[in-house]
Structure 1
Amino acid sequence: MAQEKTKRICKHGHTFYKSSDCPTCPICEKLKEPASGFLALLSNPARNALLHYGIDTIEKLASYTEKEILKLHGIGKASLPSFKKALEENGMTFKQDK
């Protein structure tokens, strides 16, 4: 049986409805999304994972190998094409495995 959605108000005054205990405001999350750059191409989990590890520029992304990036919680193989495309558009690639 589906849980009933409850009305909530975040600390910024946004009103939203949730059926889980998750306190995250979807409106605040949407406002945090970048409008441009390679981070704008990613899903929220992938973007949040990169930001958690301080990877906020394409140059920082290029300093990692594919294997290193895939080990980060929140990053899956589905994100690799977006990463590779963004790197390629900037004349870069992932760091090569040794």
Structure 2
Amino acid sequence: MTSDLDTLPKIGAPATRALHSAGYSTLRDLAGVSRAELAELHGMGPKALGIIQGALEEHSLSLGR
């Protein structure tokens, strides 16, 4: 799975809407954001968080703690 830092990875529609509503529109925007903060978003589940973390790791980035 190769991802682009200027787009969001392919996650479910509810999770994508939650990210957009919170002001995150690119993978780059998510680097360093705490996993707990993202988990609080309505529609964001463990599967979506795992996909995001994996996509960030492809670019030597990660979610915050």
Per the shorter chain, which TM-score range? 0.7 to 0.9
Q: Which ranges of structure 2 fall in alignment gaps of 5 or more residues? A: none
CA distance in 2, matches of 1:91, 1:56: 19
Q: Partner letter of residue 45 of structure 1? A: P
Q: Identity percentage over the alignment?
A: 33
Deviations 1:48-78 (A, max 9, x none): 1101111011221113111000001110112
Displacement of 1:40 in angstroms is 4.4
The structure where strand makes up a greater share of residues is 1
1:53 corresponding residue in structure 2 = 22
Q: What is the aligned residue count?
A: 61
Q: Whole-Å Cα distance in 2 between the matches of residues 81 and 67 of structure 1?
A: 13
Report 1 or 2 for greater relative contact order, CA contacts < 8 Å, sequence distance ≥ 6: 2
| TM-aligned CA distance change 1:42 to 1:84, over 3 Å | same
What TM-score does the superposition give when structure 1 sets the normalisation length? 0.55
> Which letter maps to 1:80?
L
**Bigger CA radius of gyration:** 1
More off after superposition, 54-63 vs 85-94? 54-63
Cα RMSD, aligned residues only: 1.7
Runs of 4+ aligned structure 1 residues displaced above 6 Å come to none
Q: Which runs of 5+ in 1 are unaligned?
A: 1-35
1:95 aligned to 2:50? no
